[in-house]
A and B are shown apart, each in its own frame.
Chain A
């Protein structure tokens, strides 16, 4: 039996992951901005077999409330074994280029809010001597590209932070997973034309659950993105800077 806290619980990818965990009878503590959506998800997870589902309304950017949220989770669930972070926004790159405030806000949502939460979670898990931390970053963090480098920079910050955290916590038996999805068909990408590289939320969720089970450090999802990003990362900068990507 496992107790998971999920931040960004209304994300399409997170919902699919939680369905698999519910089928295993896990206890789930859902954190998201929208109570109505969480209520609908809660009923579904209950039917699918979750042994307990709790909901908690929070905007991830309200970092001053992270500690009280974690305390409440511990109180209602007994304890938390795992934290899964799934919230995120896909910024309007052009707007970020025009305004530092917009860029900052995006970096706050996609990276700083996660760092705030994980700073506290890491210390708690470190003391307890066990725990799972799984975070959705993105292949976009592997190399900056003109079409979305503010999002990419936030995800890169997140990926590096998680690398260091993994390195620090390995001796405390706390496991850290960095999830790097490619293109996934979700509300975040509703406006995009979908081609052969696109994956479904079900596919990506299975990959996430199995990466957590196998205690992997980093998971490109679907796996072929590892090869694509290997190539992209190795194109020399003097060529890369001229590409329109």
Chain B
């Protein structure tokens, strides 16, 4: 069932959008209107929204163009989802170098946010594996961009929030895997400093690392959680792929996420594993995409929607700032259902405005409960600002414009590449309230 509204994943701010489907790569962009390219609208806040114009959607622009099974080089239209790529290439022993926590994003969207995955400490961001792409500007010109050709537009468009032009197709490198399985070790740990120790110890031998944090734990136990580290399996195992069976079919009238369900969930989740360590070999689906198993899970937050908050804090301030953020959340009695913590590595991100950079990154979500929620986010934004970190636009609907300019020091350099007909709700917000 589809509601053709082109609303972002967090459904806050909730705005009906006028959509225009860009379905064929030789077609024209809409004329006489400002627009914003949109992929699968899996960004949470307002970065894939355009309140005063239309969105040009790539959801029907989803054809493969070329795929070399021998070298793992694939070229496809911008609206092809990572899910479609995996279905095609994984049986041939190929995988994505970088994948975010949902596979229902388009390559165009992944490029425009220069997304990261659980292997950032070794692999860097999505843009590192993009060999070339084509953008179309509102005046009708088309440009092929690569590190050699139109290199300035290449760097501006990766992480460029859709502002430099409509991405028509993308070419990327795939990576070789032996099979569809990952070997996972899950470690229950008791404090934030333990997290940082585990992270450091795992960096070399584990390609994927991430932690789930119990954000209701206080004091000594603040930051406790489950640390998971994993590698692609080498042996001949073939775990079965779980079927997507659950779905939230309707919009509940109220958010199902409240302080009661949060408490129950966090403590159940923390205690689900009795032993300190657990090992398993699983299909890549539940490991990389646990939330994709529940269709439309964003609906559990009810009609008011929810906000995400994801920051990165440079290594020298990581532990103190993350601790402070967790304390503020717990003081405000506003736990997050899903709190995810990971340490990024130092592979340079190729985009002028890329979010990933060295440090610890923490992602949280909060049901929208009016000013209380916004006040807490103000506090968290301040902590990030003080500790010289940054907030991720793909998950933002709130950060202050002046902070944004500090978080992304190349903004001024970026501006010359913006297409005059493109606008977004996010961009207007952070540029206006400086």
Return chain B residues, CB-CB under 8 Å to A76. Answer: none
A12 to B63, CA, bound (A): 12
Nearest B residue to A44 by beta-carbon distance?
A: B63
A47 in contact with B64 (CB, 8 Å):
yes
A48 to B88, CA, bound (A): 7
Return chain A residues, CB-CB under 8 Å to B26. Answer: 36, 40
Return chain B residues, CB-CB under 8 Å to A196. Answer: 1, 3
Residues of B25-68 contacting chain A, CB below 8 A: 25-26, 60, 63-67
Return chain B residues, CB-CB under 8 Å to A40. Answer: 24-26, 63, 65
Chain A CB within 10 Å, residue with most, of B1, B21, B66, B88: B1
User: Beyond A194-B3, A195-B3, is A43–B21 a contact (Cβ under 8 Å)?
Assistant: no
A43 in contact with B64 (CB, 8 Å):
yes
18 further A-B pairs in the complex, CB-CB below 8 A; given A36-B24, A47-B67: A36-B26, A40-B25, A41-B63, A43-B63, A43-B65, A44-B63, A44-B64, A47-B64, A47-B66, A48-B88, A185-B2, A194-B4, A196-B1, A198-B1, A198-B2, A198-B4, A199-B1, A200-B2
Nearest A residue to B63 by beta-carbon distance?
A: A44
Return chain A residues, CB-CB under 8 Å to B21. Answer: 187, 190
B3 in contact with A12 (CB, 8 Å):
no
A196 to B3, CA, bound (A): 7
Nearest A residue to B64 by beta-carbon distance?
A: A47
Interchain nearest-CB distance for A36 vs B (Å): 6
A174-203 vs B, Cβ < 8 Å mask (1 yes, 0 no): 000000000001010010011111111000
Return chain B residues, CB-CB under 8 Å to A37. Answer: 24
Instruction: Rank and list the top 10 A-B pairs by shortest CB-CB distance, nearest first.
Output: A44-B63, A47-B64, A194-B4, A47-B67, A44-B64, A196-B1, A198-B2, A43-B65, A194-B2, A185-B2
16 contacts between A and B (CB under 8 A): A12-B23, A12-B60, A40-B26, A43-B63, A43-B65, A44-B65, A47-B64, A47-B88, A48-B64, A48-B88, A185-B2, A185-B4, A193-B4, A194-B2, A194-B3, A196-B1
A12 to B24, CA, bound (A): 11
Return chain B residues, CB-CB under 8 Å to A190. Answer: 21
Interchain nearest-CB distance for B75 vs A (Å): 9
Return chain A residues, CB-CB under 8 Å to B65. Answer: 40, 43-44, 47
Q: What is the total number of residues of chain A having a CB less than 8 Å from a CB of chain B?
A: 20
Return chain A residues, CB-CB under 8 Å to B3. Answer: 194-196
Q: What is the total number of residues of chain B having a CB less than 8 Å from a CB of chain A?
A: 16
A187 to B1, CA, bound (A): 17
Nearest B residue to A186 by beta-carbon distance?
A: B60
Interchain nearest-CB distance for A51 vs B (Å): 15
Interchain nearest-CB distance for A103 vs B (Å): 29
A194 to B1, CA, bound (A): 9
Return chain A residues, CB-CB under 8 Å to B67. Answer: 47
A187 to B59, CA, bound (A): 12
Nearest B residue to A47 by beta-carbon distance?
A: B64
A243 to B1, CA, bound (A): 26
Return chain A residues, CB-CB under 8 Å to B4. Answer: 185, 193-194, 198
B1-21 vs A, Cβ < 8 Å mask (1 yes, 0 no): 111100000000000000001
A76 to B299, CA, bound (A): 51
A197 to B23, CA, bound (A): 23
Nearest A residue to B68 by beta-carbon distance?
A: A47
Nearest B residue to A187 by beta-carbon distance?
A: B23
A196 to B251, CA, bound (A): 12
Return chain A residues, CB-CB under 8 Å to B64. Answer: 43-44, 47-48
Nearest A residue to B80 by beta-carbon distance?
A: A44
Return chain B residues, CB-CB under 8 Å to A36. Answer: 24, 26
B208-219 vs A, Cβ < 8 Å mask (1 yes, 0 no): 000000000000
Residues of B243-281 contacting chain A, CB below 8 A: none
A119 to B56, CA, bound (A): 42
Interchain nearest-CB distance for A193 vs B (Å): 7
Return chain B residues, CB-CB under 8 Å to A12. Answer: 23, 60
Residues of B88-139 contacting chain A, CB below 8 A: 88
A40-64 vs B, Cβ < 8 Å mask (1 yes, 0 no): 1101100110000000000000000
Return chain A residues, CB-CB under 8 Å to B88. Answer: 47-48
A44 to B65, CA, bound (A): 6
Nearest B residue to A12 by beta-carbon distance?
A: B60
A41 to B88, CA, bound (A): 16
Nearest B residue to A185 by beta-carbon distance?
A: B2
Return chain B residues, CB-CB under 8 Å to A43. Answer: 63-66
A111 to B21, CA, bound (A): 28
Return chain B residues, CB-CB under 8 Å to A197. Answer: 1
A187 to B57, CA, bound (A): 13
A116 to B262, CA, bound (A): 64
Return chain B residues, CB-CB under 8 Å to A41. Answer: 63
Chain B CB within 10 Å, residue with most, of A43, A196, A198, A199: A43
A86 to B4, CA, bound (A): 24
Return chain B residues, CB-CB under 8 Å to A47. Answer: 64-67, 88
A48 to B25, CA, bound (A): 18
Nearest A residue to B61 by beta-carbon distance?
A: A40
A190 to B27, CA, bound (A): 16
A48 to B85, CA, bound (A): 10
Nearest A residue to B21 by beta-carbon distance?
A: A190
A12 to B59, CA, bound (A): 12
Return chain B residues, CB-CB under 8 Å to A44. Answer: 63-65
Interchain nearest-CB distance for A49 vs B (Å): 9
Return chain A residues, CB-CB under 8 Å to B25. Answer: 40
A198 to B1, CA, bound (A): 6
Interchain nearest-CB distance for A135 vs B (Å): 24
Residues of A186-233 contacting chain B, CB below 8 A: 187, 190, 193-200
A182 to B290, CA, bound (A): 33
Return chain B residues, CB-CB under 8 Å to A187. Answer: 21, 23, 60
Return chain A residues, CB-CB under 8 Å to B2. Answer: 185, 194, 198-200
Interchain nearest-CB distance for B33 vs A (Å): 16
Return chain A residues, CB-CB under 8 Å to B66. Answer: 43, 47
A187 to B64, CA, bound (A): 20
A190 to B26, CA, bound (A): 19
A37 to B26, CA, bound (A): 9
A37 to B77, CA, bound (A): 13
